């Protein structure tokens, strides 16, 4: 029998425990996916202490992350911090203006992080509003949405050359009737499925008065990722209703049973991310509450 030192024995036990932990949570999501979280959830905490924020995410059981609101560090530094925490960055969010201004640099940065998906997190305008203190916010016109679809097809073709999928993430304006059309449906219709995928934010869709399960049913295989969040809804949900208050999963109004059931039928969901935009409890507890909700979810 080969003799091993106490240090080697302890190391072997630690490695075995880590493997057991990872295996236990590897497919804890209701769709049989790894537990994932959008890093926007811990934007403040990452700015204060990146390593602590990522360690807390890992300790809660998450294994995949989607980048957003990262500290001003190089891709190499962020990748090293993620590796240290045992996290894999599979997707990244960027607003349209940033993509339009520095697309190649963003793709290079994300590629170094190891992402599979580059997601546009907010739309652009064909004619951007003038800068200045009185510029205000002008709602997007139907032409603006058509412009976004055109640009998404271009972006998608470019990211494909780097081995990355391009996609779009919704909030509520995508569901507001614009010149008799629903922008989200226009984007689905005018983008090439071979170039552009969609990340459906289920929470914001419901806040806008839309049922995510109906989108999933009516547009099979167009959606490859989900954002999972909960809200306490007040009044009648609509794109213009801003009374919804974000809370932890299972603590609000949203029932994910029909959503997950439909997603399992008609989609090929590759990743699903918790996004906790605000906390109703200490942040580390919140991360665990959300993770436990998904781990214990009964279909």
- Residue pLDDT, tens place only, 223-256: 999 999 999 998 888 888 778 999 999 999 999 9
Picking from 231, 227, 232, the residue whose alpha carbon sits closest to that of residue 274 is: 227
CA atoms within 13 A on the CB side of 10: 3
First to last CA, the chain: 49
Question: Is residue 1 over pLDDT 70?
Answer: no
Question: Is residue 26 over pLDDT 60?
Answer: no
Question: Is residue 3 over pLDDT 60?
Answer: no
- Residue pLDDT, tens place only, 212-225: 999 999 999 999 99
- Evaluate whether 1 touches 28 at the Cβ level (below 8 Å): no
For β-strands 165-169 and 117-120, DSSP reports them as: parallel
Question: For residue 234, what pLDDT is reported?
Answer: 84
Scanning 219-276, the segments in alpha helix (DSSP H) are 257-266
State both tokens at 42.
């811990």
Query: Using CA atoms, how far apart are residues 214 and 210, in angstroms rounded to an integer?
Result: 8
Q: What is the mean pLDDT of residues 163-178?
A: 97
* Helix (H) or strand (E) run with residue 101 in it: helix 96-113
Q: What is the mean pLDDT of residues 194-200?
A: 98
Q: How confident is the model at residue 136 (pLDDT cuts 50, 70, 90)?
A: low
Give 10's contacts (C-beta < 8 A, 6+ positions apart). Answer: none
Query: Using CA atoms, how far apart are residues 3 and 198, in angstroms rounded to an integer?
Result: 55
Question: Is residue 25 over pLDDT 70?
Answer: no
For residue 282, how many other CB atoms are within 10 A of its CB?
Answer: 9
Average model confidence (pLDDT) across the chain:
90
Query: Using CA atoms, how far apart are residues 195 and 173, in angstroms rounded to an integer?
Result: 23
In CATH, the architecture of 33-129+137-295 is Alpha-Beta Barrel (3.20)
Question: For residue 86, what pLDDT is reported?
Answer: 98
- Residue pLDDT, tens place only, 61-104: 999 999 999 999 999 999 999 999 999 999 999 999 999 999 99
Query: Using CA atoms, how far apart are residues 286 and 288, in angstroms rounded to an integer?
Result: 5
Question: For residue 242, what pLDDT is reported?
Answer: 74
Q: Which of 2-16, 44-58, 143-157, 214-228 has the lowest mean pLDDT?
A: 2-16
Q: What is the mean pLDDT of residues 153-162?
A: 97
Residue bearing tokens 């925490």: 85
Q: What is the mean pLDDT of residues 181-200?
A: 98
Cα 120 from chain centroid?
10
Question: Is residue 175 over pLDDT 80?
Answer: yes
Question: Is residue 8 over pLDDT 70?
Answer: no
Question: Is residue 24 over pLDDT 50?
Answer: no
Question: Is residue 123 over pLDDT 60?
Answer: yes
Q: What is the pTM of this model?
A: 0.89
State both tokens at 215.
């989108």
């Amino acid at each position: 029998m080969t003799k091993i030192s106490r240090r080697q024995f302890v190391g072997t036990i630690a490695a075995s425990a880590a493997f057991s932990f990872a295996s236990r949570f590897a497919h804890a999501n209701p769709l049989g996916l790894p537990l994932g979280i959008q890093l926007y959830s811990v934007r403040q905490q990452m700015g204060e202490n990146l390593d602590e924020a990522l360690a807390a995410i890992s300790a809660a059981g998450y294994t995949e992350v989607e980048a957003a609101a990262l500290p001003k560090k190089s891709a190499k530094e962020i990748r090293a911090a993620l590796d240290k925490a045992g996290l894999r960055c599979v997707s990244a969010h960027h607003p349209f203006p940033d993509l339009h201004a520095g697309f190649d640099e963003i793709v290079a940065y994300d590629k170094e992080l190891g992402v599979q998906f580059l997601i546009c997190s907010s739309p652009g305008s064909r004619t951007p509003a003038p800068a200045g203190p009185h510029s205000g916010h002008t709602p997007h016109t139907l032409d603006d949405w058509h412009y976004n679809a055109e640009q998404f097809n271009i972006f998608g073709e470019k990211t494909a050359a780097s081995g990355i999928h391009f996609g779009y993430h919704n909030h509520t304006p995508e569901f507001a009737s614009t010149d008799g059309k629903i922008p989200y449906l226009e984007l689905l219709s005018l983008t090439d499925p071979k170039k552009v995928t969609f990340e459906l934010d289920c929470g914001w869709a419901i806040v806008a008065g839309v049922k995510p399960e109906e989108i999933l049913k009516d547009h099979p295989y167009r959606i490859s990722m989900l954002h999972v969040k909960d809200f306490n809804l007040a009044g009648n949900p609509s794109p213009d209703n801003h009374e919804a208050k974000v809370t932890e999963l299972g603590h609000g109004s949203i029932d994910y049973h029909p959503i997950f059931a439909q997603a399992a039928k008609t989609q090929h969901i590759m990743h699903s991310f918790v996004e906790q935009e605000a906390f109703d409890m200490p942040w580390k507890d919140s991360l665990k509450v959300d993770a436990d909700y998904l781990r214990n979810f009964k279909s």
